[in-house]
Amino acid sequence: MRVLLTGSAGFIGTAIGRALEDAGHEVVRVDVLLPMAHGETAAAPPGTHLLDVRDAGGWGDLLDGIDAVCHQAAVVGAGVTVADLPLYAAHNDLGTAALLAAMSEHGVSRLVLASSMVVYGEGRYVCATHGDRVPPPRSRAALDSGDFENHCDLCGGALAWAAVAESARLDPRSSYAASKVAQEHYASAWARQADATAIALRYHNVYGPHMPADTPYSGVAAIFRSSLERGEAPQVFEDGGQQRDFVHVDDVARANLAALEATSERSPGELAAYNVASGHPVTISEVASLVARGTRTEVAPVVTGRYRIGDVRHVVASPELAEKELGFRAQVLPEVGLPAFATAPLRS
């Protein structure tokens, strides 16, 4: 299979490109080398075509003879400020729409899209008395008082988390999340209109070697590690009890390989979405402790009680559908991968 890979020089894109080639596929690499992700002086890796996916007419013959596109190019992170909204809309929304238009023009009808668990907003919650409930965004007053849990709208009791299935409603609560929902919607519309096949992979918290170092757009595991390397205690927000799923980048690459191979077997006309997760949730405090364990440091994480408006409390995925339909199951568990990540090489 000849695969065009956007965002190929990025953290996840690099791992996917390597996995595809190891499996015998031909990879056409495309990246624009955004300074926020690669630094101001980054050089294009050998064989990489420098191209902005927002330029629908700039592809030339790159898409000719392509069997499938693996679209990883995006601005990532939660959206640090409201001023980031145009950035996400430009690169993620417009970039995806322009790429899909170019694919149709060149007769490419198979897509795997990098999506995210952030499309769910809050995860799934269950009240012991009233069953499944959909909580509203947590109020600033509650957060200021140290009440970080979501509560049942009927009885006021704290809600317990449950695994989120792909059929859950989409409820984006940050600029990044809104852009990821938009990407899925564009891909779904394209699949119907172009009689094409699209798969969206909803990544949970990705970590691993060559992850970007400590920036506002880095993952929390990298931020914890950077603190420890400075001899500082990792700063854990809220009470540290937020439940997440951390999935290793090598597993994400394997999921993309499985999804790309599956596009040849799917009936066209609709978007299929899958969670990409380890299936072994951990709290944010546990993440900090596991990374600290890998550095063999005596510095203990500090629970600060601070919070960010727009953050969600718990998001834990069900990996069952990806295993059933793609044959994908994560191989690297957080209790192994996170300590190893503490000393793995990072991208500066």
Q: How far apart are CA 224 and CA 227, in angstroms?
A: 5
Q: What is the DSSP letter of 92?
A: I
Q: How many CA atoms lie within 13 A of 228 on its CB side?
A: 26
Greatest Cα pair distance in the chain: 61
Given a contact cutoff of 8 angstroms between Cβ atoms, the answer to whether 174 and 148 are in contact is no
d(CA 110, CA 157): 46
Residue 62 confidence (pLDDT) = 96
User: 106: closest CA among 144, 160, 72, 59?
Assistant: 59
Burial (0-12, 13-18, 19+ Cβ within 10 Å), 102: buried
pLDDT the model gives residue 215: 61
Place of tokens 């500066």: 348
Between CA 254 and CA 261 the distance in angstroms is 11
DSSP letter assigned to residue 118: G
- Bridge partners of 347, per DSSP, are 212
If the chain, 348 residues long, is cut into consecutive pieces of 10 residues, what is the mean pLDDT of each piece? 97 97 98 76 85 92 97 81 86 97 96 96 95 92 97 96 96 90 98 98 95 71 91 96 97 98 93 97 96 89 91 93 98 97 88
C-alpha 240 chain-centroid distance: 21
Per DSSP, 164 falls in state B
